[in-house]
Amino acid sequence: MTKPDAQPKHMKKKQVIVIHGGTTFKTRKEYLNYLRNCKITLEKFKPKKDWKIGMGKILGNGFEVLLPKMPNKVNARYKEWKIWFERILTVTNNNIILIGHSLGGIFLAKYLSENLVSKKIIATFLVAAPFDDNGEKEKESLADFSLPKSLKKFEKQGGKIYLYHSKNDPVVSISHFEKYSKILPNARATVLKNRAHFNKEQFPEILKEIKRLFK
């Protein structure tokens, strides 16, 4: 008798999908000006380790951390990210965890507020996410990543929502965190000290919460 095919190993694991950050511009002229004038250093081109890369190892064998590269993160376009994200969802498990860092955070908030997702989402983490482009420190436009007026659909299908921000973030000011906290009153909001824009190797708080979700 032929045995049924074994379930693929990845189907048994708890999947965490991390959407990275990026930059976006209203016009091509602004984008080209950025390429001509942005500060260039050797450090900019050296490989860097950050908390996203090490998540899988720390969480352990029961988890599978997916780190998709979104299209053209230097000059990101929401429609392109939306297409790619939807294709990613076709091959993921049910009961997923979503994490969006910086531009990736507002992308998730926008996408889940404007679209229905067939997969069940256990939790969504927004890390140092911009809310709009009216902040005191922000010099970049959010272009077509701007949020809709209502995030109700996000609240309904995003699972448990977590917000993380650092007091000394030099890229996205704490005012954005406060706006998210106000419009998402049921979210678990955490302010940390001295984490800047969360580009460091360690992020133990988010790992602890992910493990807690499956206890």
1 within a domain of the structure (yes/no): no
DSSP string across 22-91: ----SSHHHHHHHHHHS---GGGGS----HHHHHHHHH-TTEEEE----TTGGG--HHHHHHHHHHHHTT
105-140 pLDDT per residue, tens: 999 999 999 999 989 999 999 999 999 987 544 567
Cβ-based burial of 203 (10 A; exposed 0-12, middle 13-18, buried ≥19): buried
140 within a domain of the structure (yes/no): yes
Instruction: Find the CATH number of the domain harbouring 21.
Output: 3.40.50.1820
Give this prediction's pTM: 0.91
2 within a domain of the structure (yes/no): no
4 within a domain of the structure (yes/no): no
Range of the domain at 25: 9-213
Number of domains, the chain: 1
The band of 4, judged by pLDDT with boundaries at 50, 70 and 90, is very low
65 within a domain of the structure (yes/no): yes
158 within a domain of the structure (yes/no): yes
18-31 pLDDT per residue, tens: 999 999 999 999 99
99 within a domain of the structure (yes/no): yes
3 within a domain of the structure (yes/no): no
Phi-psi region for residue 149, left (φ > 0), alpha (ψ -120 to 50) or beta?
alpha
56-96 pLDDT per residue, tens: 999 998 999 999 999 999 999 999 999 999 999 999 999 99
How long a stretch of residues is the chain?
Answer: 215
* Pair of tokens at residue 215: 């206890």
